[in-house]
Structure formats: structure tokens, C-alpha cells
Amino acid sequence: MTDNFAARLETTAQEVAAALEALLSETVLDGEIARPGYLLAAMRHGVLNGGKRLRPFLVVETARLLGAPELAARRVAAALECIHCYSLIHDDLPSMDDDDLRRGQPTVHVAFDEATAILAGDALLTLAFDILSSPETDLPADAKLRLVNQLARASGIGGMVGGQSLDLDAERVAPDEAGIVKLQAMKTGALLRYACAAGAIAAGADDQVLARMTRFGEIIGLAFQLADDLLDVTSDAATLGKAAGKDAGRGKGTLVSLHGVAAARQRLDGLVEEAAELLEPFGGKAETLRQAAGFIASREH
Amino acid sequence: MTDNFAARLETTAQEVAAALEALLSETVLDGEIARPGYLLAAMRHGVLNGGKRLRPFLVVETARLLGAPELAARRVAAALECIHCYSLIHDDLPSMDDDDLRRGQPTVHVAFDEATAILAGDALLTLAFDILSSPETDLPADAKLRLVNQLARASGIGGMVGGQSLDLDAERVAPDEAGIVKLQAMKTGALLRYACAAGAIAAGADDQVLARMTRFGEIIGLAFQLADDLLDVTSDAATLGKAAGKDAGRGKGTLVSLHGVAAARQRLDGLVEEAAELLEPFGGKAETLRQAAGFIASREH
């Protein structure tokens, strides 16, 4: 990754974290909202954790490429990050993946308690829709409604949550290749696809550009998952920060386990190329998104 | 309750159940959504359970009083019921209230498993916002955005989920009267308040009428909780279908435990009167909502 790209990633992460910090502060500007302290602390623990903010970065960079207002794009990015973080809190629960650590910190149910972790996830999920629909998100009503509806689709039973459920099924009965592709598209792909679509919607892009950026987001999702699966096979625990080979060890099939490392790497290169082709009409302006595709396909995310 | 009112409650419950049945069917009209079967079954178990659909009834009747389109009102009602049902699924979990039965049926985590119950709740929460923001909900964009935003506020950290968190706190440190009032207004009041506000928003009511119906919903919420607290003290387990005196037994303070049964009954009568006064400008057209207030204050809900 180039220094310039790394700096941009870092700056956006900080800007989005600042937006999230404000959205999760004790006092809310309109003064209407009473916020129970313990629950708020749990939500903050699950969100303000130094994440790379990859999904927000894709929202912000797509929005920038297409000329969306910056503040609004940042709120859309923050809403999406709330969804991502809620899903991590719930995934980490004892009845799900039962993880005690995330980014080297105790997970929310460990740092607080299980009931509070469930509620913190629920509250973050809900907050995402609050943010998008709020008068403070300065976009046309139609755009906001589309952002709400597409986020609900991307994160609900037809998207992320549905994918998580298929993932639980996969521990009982191993899916075939089509099943793996579907599971991954829903569980991790849908939010990455949404990130790029959302940036375009915030910019008021026409249908053709929206379709192009949605497809770009899909490619990003596929590349992300493939890189993750490769990392799971090839890295050691120290690099990964979680038990390496964990997914494979639990018998979960991946495209890497089906077709091997070499074929997966080749496929990954193809995806990065396809992503670059989709950005061609935008010329040099799309350089950051082009680099984002390469970054995501690398082992660094 | 009059026969006429009972019939109307029953009819609306059936209409909303039919809407929910369609929204939770395997095949969705636009064909875009893949729905994992096990998760969908868990969602259906948690929603299609013969509930009285009190919140939907308030949406539909407020909408009818003020002239909102019926189909749209029913979708708004269904969305609200998704939120209510998700909250019951999560509240029943082992780390929360740990209830095995609801309406005489095994709770979702008992009938399925704990992880699936968490995901079913998440998916229902998300589906509520999908329904409201969908093009199929035939209301102006501004109205839909307000419905989304107010639902997020009513059900998030400043509303229902926040109230549930305060309720967990209350098991450790007993709240004072102000604390009890706040907890109840958030945990159960916010959704009932929303029900009446949502009917008005769907009807395109002006600010004055919206404020009036929102206040009506607030009163309904207070009456509902007070009737529930009275029931908890005065009924036996057979009538209630759950362990009687359960809340008091867990040391949770209520207005009944603070001021006694007689004072609570008097207060309840006052609330029903106040509700009726709020409906006066609408004359006979508001008879059903007037009866709804009486019904909610009775021990029958």
C-alpha cells in the first residue's frame, strides 16, 4: 500500500471514529434522549476500538468520487459501522463464536455481561437506522429512504444475518460450493456491497453509475472473503490475532479449501483486475478506490 | 369490553397476522431475497403466535380515525409488531429473563437454539425498518422517513432497549420513583406511544394532531404498565400465565408497590379519563380508541 493511500485510510478512520464518538456521547444535541450509562458504555466499547473502518472508508471514498456532501457521507459511513460493530458483538457471544478477545481487548460480553452485550448490539443496530433517517443527515428524503431500505436488505435475513445463520448451519452440514458462495456473499459480501452503493446513493448517482459501484462493491466483497480465507490457511496465529486455521479446523469449507491456494490467488488477482476495469470511466479520480481493491485483496486488512 | 370492540380487536389482529405471514413467507415477491429456512422458521415462531396485536391495533385505529390509507397503515403496524416480537425473543433468552414459555409455547431459544434466537431477533428488528422504508409502503417519502426515525428512537437506547437495560440495572440497585417512571416509559411506554404517533404520521396529520395522538399514546403506555403492575400483585398464576408476583419477588419496585393498590387504581381511572379527554375533538369517530384505553386499563390485556 502506498504511503498516500495509508494516510487517507487513517484519516478517514479518524474522521469516522470522531463521528461515532459524537453519536455515542452521553448528551445528544436535541436533548430528547435519555441514555442509560452502562448500556452506552458497552456500545462505546464495541465501537470505539481502533478499527480500520474499512466499510466506512468505502462509503466515504465512493461518495467523494461521485461528489456527495462530505458530512452526510460520513454519517452514512458511521451508520454502516454501527451495523458492522453490532454484528461483531453478537457474533462473539458464548452461544455464537464464543470469543473472549477482539483486537486484543475483552469482547463486550466479557467486559460487561452477556445480557448487556445483546442489548448493546440491538441498540447499535437500531442507532444505524436512526442516524440514516435523522434530519441531521443532510440528503434528499428519497436518497435517505433508499439508504435505509438497502441497509435493511443488506443486513437482514436476506443479507448479513441470514449469512450468519447459514454459517451456523454449515457447522452441522457442510455446504457445497454454491452454498459457500451464497453464505459468504450474504455474511460478509452484503455490507461491503452496500458500502459502495451507499456512497453512490448519497451522491445522487444515476442508475447506471449506481449499478457500476454496486458491482464494484460486490467484487470487493468477494476479494475480501477470498483474502480472508487465504489468510486463514497461510498465516500463523501471531500475525492473525486469532487462532489460525480456525475456520478450517471447524470443518467450514472455503473456496481455498476446495480449489487450493494457487487457484485462489489467481482468482483474487482476477477480481482486482475486474474492480479496476469498473473504475476506468472515472480515470485518475478513482485512484484511491483502485488502491482500496488492491489493499483488500492483500493480506493486510 | 363491548362485543363490537372485541370483534374489531380480533379482526385487526387477523389482518395484521396475515400481513406478517406474507412478510415472513419463504418467497418474497421481488425475488431478490434468499431466506435461510431455519432462521425464517424461528422468526415465524416468534411472530405468528396468536398475539392480541395491541400495538398494531393502536396504529390501525389511529390511522383509521385520521384517514390514512389502510394497507399502508397495516404495514406500519406489522413493522411495529416485528420490533415488539424481537424484543420478546431477546428478553426471553437465558442471559435475560430466562423464560421457557410464552403464550403456552416454547420460547424461540427453546424451540430452536440460543444463537438462532439472537439472530431471529436481529433479523426481525432489521425487517421492521425494511418494511417501513420499502417502496411497497405507499406513503410520502417524508412520512416514511419520520416513521423510520421515530421507530428507531422509540426502540433504541433512548427507548425500549434503554429501558430494558435500566430494568437489568434495577435488579442490582432498586431505582427510586423517578427511576421507575423513566424505566417504564422507556421499556414499555415508548412503543405504545409510537403506535399512536405512527398512525397519525401515516395519515399526514398536522403537528397539533400528531402531538395530541402522541400524548394519547403516552397515556396508554402509562395505563398499560400500571394495569400490568396491578395484575402482578393481585392475580394468581393461573390467570396470568406466568409466575404471579414475579416482578415484586425479584425486588423490582413498581408504582403499585410504592403507593399501594388503591392509589394505583385511582391513578389508572384518572389516566383513562385523560385519554378520553384527548379524544374529545374527534367525537364519536374515536369511540374505538376510547374503548381501547379502557381495555388497556382493564386486567384483560
User: Angle at Cα A151 formed by Cα A147 and Cα A154, nearest 5°?
Assistant: 140
- β-pairing verdict for B101-102 and A105-106: unpaired
Q: What distance in Å separates the CA atoms of residue A210 and residue A206, rounded to the nearest whole number? A: 6
pLDDT per residue as tens digits for the range B153-167: 999 999 999 999 999
pLDDT per residue as tens digits for the range B20-46: 999 999 866 455 556 899 999 999 999
> Would an 8 Å CB–CB cutoff place A43 in contact with chain B?
yes
Q: What are the beta bridge partners of residue B101?
A: B106
DSSP string, B249-287: HTT---HHHHH-HHHHHHHHHHHHHHHHHHHGGGGGGGH
Q: Which residues of B touch A133 (CB under 8 A)?
A: 145-146, 148-149, 152
For residue B236, the model assigns a pLDDT of: 52
Cβ-based neighbours of A244, under 8 Å, separated by 6 or more: A232, A235, A236, A237
Q: Which amino acid is present at B203?
A: A
CB contact under 8 A, B166 and A36: yes
CB contact under 8 A, A32 and B158: yes
CB contact under 8 A, B39 and A162: yes
By Cβ distance, the residue of B127, B129, B161 closest to A148 is B129
Nearest chain B residue to A114, by CA: B95
CB contact under 8 A, A130 and B149: yes
Half-sphere exposure of B213 (CA within 13 A, CB side): 29
Helix and strand numbers (H, E) in chain B are: 16, 2
Q: Over chain A, what is the mean pLDDT?
A: 92
Q: What are the beta bridge partners of residue B138?
A: none
pLDDT per residue as tens digits for the range A119-162: 999 999 999 999 999 999 999 999 999 999 999 999 999 999 99
Nearest chain A residue to B132, by CA: A149
Inform me whether the pLDDT recorded for A75 exceeds 70. Answer: yes
CB B82 within 8 A of CB B124: yes
φ/ψ (deg, to 5) at A236? -105, 170
By Cβ distance, the residue of B35, B149, B165 closest to A36 is B165
Q: Which residues of B touch A146 (CB under 8 A)?
A: 133
Q: Quickly count: other Cβ atoms within 10 Å of residue B231's Cβ.
A: 17
Q: What is the pTM of this model?
A: 0.94
Q: Which amino acid is present at B187?
A: K
Inform me whether the pLDDT recorded for B100 exceeds 70. Answer: yes
> Would an 8 Å CB–CB cutoff place A38 in contact with chain B?
yes
Inform me whether the pLDDT recorded for B294 exceeds 60. Answer: yes
